[in-house]
Amino acid sequence: MQSSQATLGEIFSFVSGLYFRGKLAYASQFARPPFGISGSRIITSSSGLLPPEYLATLDWLRATTESSIDPDNPQYRDPLIRDAQLICGALPQGARVVLLGSIATPKYVAPLLEVFGSRLFYPLDFSGRGDMSRGSLLLRCTRENRELSYGVLGPVRT
């Protein structure tokens, strides 16, 4: 009998392969969240920021694929901003947020910068690398127990 649900981490790992497996492994090893806050979240197209353990049903998956990841799309933007504000409000002074996603386009960066500002960081070694290379890098760093260096994300260029 097949299950009609899986965790969001499992789904994204299946769809995105190496890149997402690298992100999950790296975040699991190096995230140092304050008590009560998940160490990693997944950006979704219509449900904001969800933990990798979120149990997604087939109905949820179908519904979420109907929305596009576009900062001008309120179905994407509003839940993302809502969840980012909740997280930001729960973070202690000086805490930083590391984006392991694409920094090349404003679709992820612009809304997150609005909320986190100078608390939003990215791995410096991501610059100039494609998805597969970033995934491989994250898995290698996890295996070697070597955390990457981070830079502050600046204003988004459109």
Per-residue pLDDT of the chain (158 residues; tens, 9 = 90+): 455 778 999 988 888 878 889 999 999 999 998 888 889 999 999 999 999 999 998 888 888 888 889 999 999 999 999 999 999 999 998 899 999 988 877 899 999 999 999 999 999 999 888 878 899 999 999 999 999 999 998 765 44
- Inside any domain, residue 157: no
- Inside any domain, residue 158: no
- Inside any domain, residue 50: yes
- Inside any domain, residue 102: yes
Number of domains in the chain: 1
Question: How far is the C-alpha of 118 from the C-alpha of 112, rounded, in Å?
Answer: 10
As a dihedral over the C-alpha atoms of residue 123, residue 125, residue 131, residue 137, rounded to 10 degrees, the angle is -100
Q: What is the pLDDT of residue 3?
A: 59
- Inside any domain, residue 80: yes
Q: What is the pLDDT of residue 143?
A: 97
For 25, the domain range is 5-152
Whole-structure pTM value: 0.88
- Inside any domain, residue 146: yes
As a dihedral over the C-alpha atoms of residue 59, residue 65, residue 70, residue 74, rounded to 10 degrees, the angle is -30
